[in-house]
A and B are shown apart, each in its own frame.
Chain A
Amino acid sequence: MNARSLYAVSSIAAVLALGACHKKVAPAPAPAPAPTQAAPAPPPPPPTTAAPTNTGADMASARDAARASLTAPIYFDLDSDALSDADRASLDAKVGILNASPGVKIRVAGHTDERGSDEYNLALGQRRAAAAKRYLTQHGVPDASIDIISYGEEHPAMDGHDEAAWSKNRRDEFEITAGADALKPAAQ
């Protein structure tokens, strides 16, 4: 991907992110995205200090922030793969980082809480992982940059048998599988 097309993709992603569009968007990066309606401003991407004059320490710190943002989990309601507003905001931030960091690949892992059938929960986790990937690719992240996997209820984030644990276990986790060194903050 050359610099121009990269810029185009980033711009599209930025516009889409600003629009906080809940509609499904064609994955093809058209030259000019369809105008989006005004909508409440989404949370801005994580502030960064990235600038040409950054010191090495600043850059490392920015990379850590980008990594934290990219790998932040998103959470789901019971037996649902629907993305909440908070999920979308988190995914928008990931779109910015991924589009600024060509070469970075991620794996989305879908998880469920312990309730429900062990076997059905594998399919539910798959659906949750697919929902996040679909959102990311619809916002310009290349399909090949993301793979998905489901762990069902097999790997809870939090032990416990109450809603406090369950709500933390109904999640997608995001793992950087390639290009971690190339991680950059989202373009301003």
Chain B
Amino acid sequence: MIALIRSDLLPARTPRLCFALAMALCLAPFMSRAQDTTHAVRIGLTYQPGTKPGVIVLAVRGAWGDSIQGIIARDLDYGDRVEVIGLPGTPAASSLEGIGPGVSYPLWKSLNAAAAVQATVTSSGVHVAVHDVTGRKIVQVADFPLPPTGGSTEWRLAVHGVADEVEQWITGTRGVAQTRILFVRGGRVYVVDSDGFGERLISDAGLSLSPAWAPDGHTISYSVLGSRGWSIVTKDVAGGAGHTLPSTTTGLNTTPAFSPNGLTLAYSHGDEAGTDLMLVDLAGGGPRRITVGHGSDNTSPEFSPNGRRIAFTSGRAGHPEVYIMDVDGSNVELLTPFNFGDQNYRSNPDWAPDAQHIAFESQIGGIFQIMVISLRDRSVKQLTSEGVNEDPAWAPDARHLVFTSSRTGVKQLFILDSESGRARQLTHAGGARLAAWSRSLGHGR
């Protein structure tokens, strides 16, 4: 599969992207799910090296056609790997509107499109063809079933899956539109689609924080304030009662994180002698303490993609920094170096699905900004500068990040393309924070 990536198709950032792609394909099982529906291969488009390929999403006739066209075009735009092209002269706001459904290679060529996406409504869903504009031919086709409930939440999720597959055909990397994001608003846990639609309340009564996804894509966990303290709850995002983790009924129990195999939960437990990280088997059994904080605070664990290491925040050096360690608590290593006496601190790590990067928040003059550190050479890159920016969480593509930003005056979620720096606002009402990004949600739910 990797061998199919043609170097003349890749933009200037090729080496890093190519490596990230290779890692993602090797390490992330959900990436290979694209093979389940179609024999997805990278199609041989021709376009200017160093630019994003121009893509036209043709208008779609039939029931819900406008919605299908709009969702695919916006998903491709949000994916930041292609340039979605509209008709010349159209206002920017409507640039994602479809161009007439007829096949017209000369017109598409004049608009600098490398590919055109042609979707046709069928009795069971949608048929999609991708045209190579230069080669004047169809290079990929597939049929996608859609739920009969046009416009519903599950229908939208399925259309996002079509867009992600098309993005894979064109760019070689599956899109991340068919995902959902958990967050906290007003002390309750909500879920929202990656494009900002379908927001709904998930948590029950009680101040709830720090939601996390299980790798199954539907079990979640978060911490809830009760009369005796903070406990850890697991719940199905589709509904049903929450279950309190038996080992978390007293004291401070926060920041749950599922292991990549879904069998173990890491969380922080505080009592009168500091806050330490614990591991507990979800099938049963007592918790095991994996940090020895000597009264310091150890919180916000996140597993590495292979489940063997944990990144976390610890105050053991006198102020919070990000550390990494083996999952049994051994080989603790300071990840974020600091200058002695530095009043700024670093916290909230999130391990990228490519296994090569960890995002975290770092205070600069007391103001948090989103940073990414490479585990390869420990180089650090600052990704934000406007307002207070915190709580980063990676998308399954290890390229996009969701985070909390105060840049509009109220804490809201933004999504950032770590390659281009392009950001978009995900939530708009009532404030939002502490986001967690799901895996790709194709197949089934």
Q: With A and B bound together, what is the CA distance between A123 and B299 in angstroms?
A: 7
Residue B427, interface by CB 8 Å: no
Indicate which residue in A115, A116, A119, A133 contacts B272 across the interface (CB closer than 8 Å): A133
Indicate which residue in B229, B270, B434 contacts A123 across the interface (CB closer than 8 Å): B270
Indicate which residue in A124, A133, A149, A151 contacts B297 across the interface (CB closer than 8 Å): A124
- Give B44 Cβ to nearest chain A Cβ, in Å: 47
- Once A117-B300, A117-B361, A120-B300 are accepted as A-B contacts, the answer to whether A130 and B273 lie under 8 Å apart by CB is yes
Contact yes or no, A120 B366, CB < 8 A: no
Indicate which residue in B225, B252, B361 contacts A126 across the interface (CB closer than 8 Å): B252
Q: With A and B bound together, what is the CA distance between A116 and B275 in angstroms?
A: 16
Interface residues of B in 210-244 (CB under 8 A from A): 210, 225, 228-230
Contact yes or no, A123 B268, CB < 8 A: yes
Q: With A and B bound together, what is the CA distance between A130 and B295 in angstroms?
A: 10
Chain B residues with CB below 8 A from A127, complex form? 270, 274-275, 295, 297
Residue A183, interface by CB 8 Å: no
Q: Number of A interface residues, CB 8 Å?
A: 22
Interface residue stretch chosen among B132-140, B191-199, B313-321? B313-321
CB-nearest residue of chain B relative to A79?
Answer: B319
Contact yes or no, B207 A154, CB < 8 A: yes
Contact yes or no, B320 A150, CB < 8 A: no
Chain A residues with CB below 8 A from B254, complex form? 119, 122-123
Contact yes or no, B348 A117, CB < 8 A: yes
Contact yes or no, B313 A119, CB < 8 A: yes
- Give B231 Cβ to nearest chain A Cβ, in Å: 12
By size class, the interface of chain B is 35 or more
Chain B residues with CB below 8 A from A117, complex form? 299-300, 313, 320, 347-348, 361, 368, 390-391
Indicate which residue in B270, B274, B361, B433 contacts A150 across the interface (CB closer than 8 Å): B270
Residue A74, interface by CB 8 Å: no
Contact yes or no, A118 B273, CB < 8 A: no
Q: With A and B bound together, what is the CA distance between A55 and B433 in angstroms?
A: 55
Chain B residues with CB below 8 A from A147, complex form? 228
Q: With A and B bound together, what is the CA distance between A100 and B313 in angstroms?
A: 42
- Give B217 Cβ to nearest chain A Cβ, in Å: 23
- Give A167 Cβ to nearest chain B Cβ, in Å: 15
Residue A148, interface by CB 8 Å: yes
Residue A134, interface by CB 8 Å: yes
- Give A37 Cβ to nearest chain B Cβ, in Å: 26
Contact yes or no, A126 B270, CB < 8 A: yes
- The CB with the most chain A CB atoms within 10 A, among B207, B254, B272, is that of B272
- Give B284 Cβ to nearest chain A Cβ, in Å: 27
Q: With A and B bound together, what is the CA distance between A6 and B296 in angstroms?
A: 35
Contact yes or no, A120 B299, CB < 8 A: yes
Interface string of A75-94 (1 = CB under 8 A from B): 00011000000000000000
Interface string of B338-353 (1 = CB under 8 A from A): 0000010101100000
Contact yes or no, B345 A154, CB < 8 A: no
Chain A residues with CB below 8 A from B230, complex form? 122, 150
Contact yes or no, A148 B315, CB < 8 A: no
Chain B residues with CB below 8 A from A133, complex form? 272
CB-nearest residue of chain B relative to A122?
Answer: B254
Chain A residues with CB below 8 A from B272, complex form? 130, 133-134, 148
Residue B187, interface by CB 8 Å: yes
Chain A interface residues toward B at CB < 8 A: 78-79, 115-120, 122-124, 126-127, 130, 133-134, 147-151, 154
**Nearest 9 pairs between A and B by C-beta?**
A123-B297, A123-B275, A126-B270, A117-B347, A130-B272, A126-B252, A119-B300, A123-B299, A119-B255
List 11 A–B pairs whose Cβ atoms lie within 8 Å, in order of A's numbering.
Answer: A117-B300, A117-B347, A118-B391, A119-B254, A119-B348, A122-B209, A122-B252, A123-B275, A126-B275, A127-B297, A148-B272
Chain B interface residues toward A at CB < 8 A: 187, 207, 209-210, 225, 228-230, 251-252, 254-255, 268, 270-275, 295, 297-300, 313, 315, 319-320, 343, 345, 347-348, 361, 366, 368, 390-391, 433-434
